[in-house]
Amino acid sequence: MSFWSDVPRVVRLLKGERANYGLGLLALWVVNFSDVMAPLFLAVAVDLMASSLGGAPPKLPAIMGYVGLTPAQFNLETAIACFFGLQLTANIARYPMLVMTSIPSHRVGQRVRNELVGRLLSLSRGFFDRSKSGDLMALQTNDIIAVRMMLGPGILVGVDTLMLVSLVIVVMFALSWKLALLALIPMPLIAIVTNKLSHAEYQRSEAVQNDIGRLTEQVRESYAGIRILQGYAREGYDRERFRLASFRHYGKSLDLGRVRSVFDPALDFFLGSSTSIVLAVGGPAVVRGEMSLGSFTAFLFLINFLSGPMVGFGWAVSLWQRGRASLKRLDKVMSEQPEVGDVEGAIALDGTVAIEVRGLTFGYAARGAAEIGTEEREVAVAAPEQAAALDGVSFVLAPGKLLGVTGRVGSGKSTLAMLLTRIYEPPAGTIFVNGRDVRDYTLSSLRRSIVVAPQDTFLFSDTIENNLLMGLDAETAGGSDSRASEAARLAGLASLAEEIEELPKRYGTLLGERGVNLSGGQRQRLAIARAIGADPRMLVLDDCLSAVDARTEARILEQLRTVFEGRSGIIISHRVRALEQCDEILVLEAGRVIERGTHAALLAQGGHYAEIAHEQTKEAVSE
């Protein structure tokens, strides 16, 4: 991807900040104009001093004569005053120059970060199944910073280089066009070297940014799985694994550093060549009287002015190449579209919920991991067709009724729960809510009406109270007193209130990452309470009592009777006892319904359900 193809994308990013950038670049022009003009008055001062020593009449640089200035208008004091005034002007203008380009770049970075989060939150579950958390975390940190640096210092230094070099060349030609031509001989070589090095740096910057995502993901996995690593005494293995990954990243960074390290020496060499040419040709010209000492001094100052821009130009190129690589990674995510969304004309779901499932067949697409970048291409992974997670499932759940679902691991129980709320998109004409296809409803209203308490409970690093009330709107939650009473009510329904009261800060207790300071059973019960707090019209409990003992489970189910009054419910569990009160029970095997009926009817059939119930009864007796 060429540099120029990225310019329109950068211009779009700067939308709303162009006036600030315009003022900042105007201040930059004032700085550069003052800096370039100042050596001319230095030339006047040098020529005045030379004239007083040698007796020859003073000369002004030719460019000053173009605007009507004459030697008679100057003495040493006025020349020094003009030089000082231009230096003062340049330094005063530097403040708005930096402020008007730096602050907008931070605002753009903040906007891009917010847009990225908004896009990620809008994407469907399938995207996150394919993506790595480390890549997404790197986008939020390293890539956003790289884009901001490109839009701030990258633009400022790049424009500064072009502007200052242009002004310097104009003044140099006005002083001596012959000497200027000779001084510019190395410039084409600078353009060639810069083009080659910048292309190499872009490729290496992209590789480094991609590898940061991989490294971040590996570190995240290690920290998240620290209990497993320590439990199996595999710290040494993981340390070695990280050492190899870190060494890989070191190699890529070193490769990038080698390219960057060539920039400054190459630019300095060409600049030194220009200075040598000026000294070799301009010095004898001064001796022969073809050029004044002041003009020659100004010429050397102007050549020296090119040093900063040339070094800065190398840095600006580096910032731009890193920013372009990061922008490409960000654009890949920002261009992603949700696989599940509201159809045109979608309506809001309100009131009671009646479910009808007709011949539901669903399978997960076989996909490879989505790599955010180009180092590992985003191509579909060749894989054998996966068996359908659900095959021809049908049932009816009337308002106020309770459905139980059981089956072996991998039989499709959780898949059914996710399809009801369109976490994954079900086939058209298979799931109906209140007589309409589930796809006809808006996602937000559907997921407010049907809430799933999943088996893989996730708690946020926040207080117990805030976790419990996460499903409530701010208006519904009310003030602190009503929030506290509602949190206590929900905890009581999940048989968690007594244990919370024993904690030092009770409902204000701050949970560690993923609720690490709670037991597995406590986390599950808190997740159930959170789902109840959302006050849905239909509540789905997806095997979220697996980590509690049978006695606690029975107590929770008894208390949930009041919760299910007036609303539909689905209890998914591998424990038969949890399903005893359900109006109908489905037994799944390999995605198919192999048995259905009430608890008593299924026991009487003596089939798979009865076999599971018999085994669990024996286990309970033996305990």
Encoded amino acid at 597, one letter: G
pLDDT (tens digit per residue) in 564-573? 777 888 988 8
pLDDT at 224: 66
**Any alpha helices (H) in 507-598, and if so which ranges?**
520-533, 550-564
Percent pLDDT > 90 in the chain is 6
Q: Is the pLDDT of residue 374 over 70?
A: no
Can you give the pLDDT at residue 394?
A: 92
> What residue type is 234 in one-letter code?
R
Task: Reply yes or no on whether the pLDDT at 231 is more than 70.
Answer: no
- With H, G, I as helix, E, B as strand and everything else as coil, classify residue 393: strand
CA dihedral sign of residues 520, 525, 528, 534: negative
Top-level class of domain 3-334: mainly alpha
pLDDT band at 89 (very low <50, low <70, confident <90, very high): very high
Burial of 401 (0-12, 13-18, 19+ CB in 10 A): middle
DSSP string, 322-354: HHHHHHHHHHHHHT---SS-PPTT-B---S---
pLDDT, tens digit (0-9, with 9 covering 90-100), for 506-543: 888 887 766 677 777 778 888 888 888 888 888 888 88
Write out the residue limits of the CATH 3.40.50.300 domain(s) in the chain.
Answer: 355-456+538-622
| Confidence bin at 373 (pLDDT 50/70/90) | low
pLDDT above 60 for 459? yes
Torsion of CA 247, 253, 258, 261, to 10 degrees: -130
Residue type, 549: D
pLDDT band per the 50, 70, 90 thresholds, residue 475: low
Q: What is the pLDDT of residues 29-81, one digit of tens each?
A: 999 899 888 888 888 888 888 777 765 666 767 667 666 677 677 788 888 89
pLDDT of the residue at 562:
76
Sheet with 355-362, side-by-side order of all strands: 390-397, 355-362, 431-433, 436-437
- The mean pLDDT value for 194-199 works out to 72
What are the C-alpha distances in Å from 496 to residues 452, 500, 519, 521, 561?
A: 19, 6, 12, 10, 16
Provide the whole-model pTM.
0.69
In the structure, what pLDDT confidence band is assigned to residue 85 with cuts at 50, 70 and 90? Answer: very high
Mean pLDDT in residue range 144-155: 85
> In the predicted model, what is the mean pLDDT of the chain?
80
What are 263-299's pLDDT values in tens digits? 777 777 877 787 788 888 888 887 777 777 888 888 8
Q: Provide long-range contacts, Cβ within 8 A and 24+ apart, for 339-346.
A: 339/123, 339/124, 339/126, 339/127, 339/425, 340/124, 340/125, 340/422, 340/423, 340/424, 340/425, 340/443, 341/124, 341/443, 342/442, 342/443, 343/439, 343/440, 345/440, 346/440, 346/441, 346/442
| pLDDT above 70 (res 326) | yes
Task: State residue 27's pLDDT score.
Answer: 92
pLDDT confidence bin for 105, thresholds 50/70/90 = confident
User: Which region among 44-48, 291-295, 359-363, 557-561 has the lowest average model confidence (pLDDT)?
Assistant: 557-561
pLDDT score of 166 more than 90: no
Alpha-helical runs (H) found in 337-479 = 413-420, 443-449, 464-468, 474-477
Homologous superfamily in CATH for domain 355-456+538-622: P-loop containing nucleotide triphosphate hydrolases (3.40.50.300)
Residues of the chain with CATH 1.20.1560.10: 3-334
Measured N-to-C along each axis, helices 235-287 and 307-334 cross at an angle, to the nearest 10 degrees, of: 140
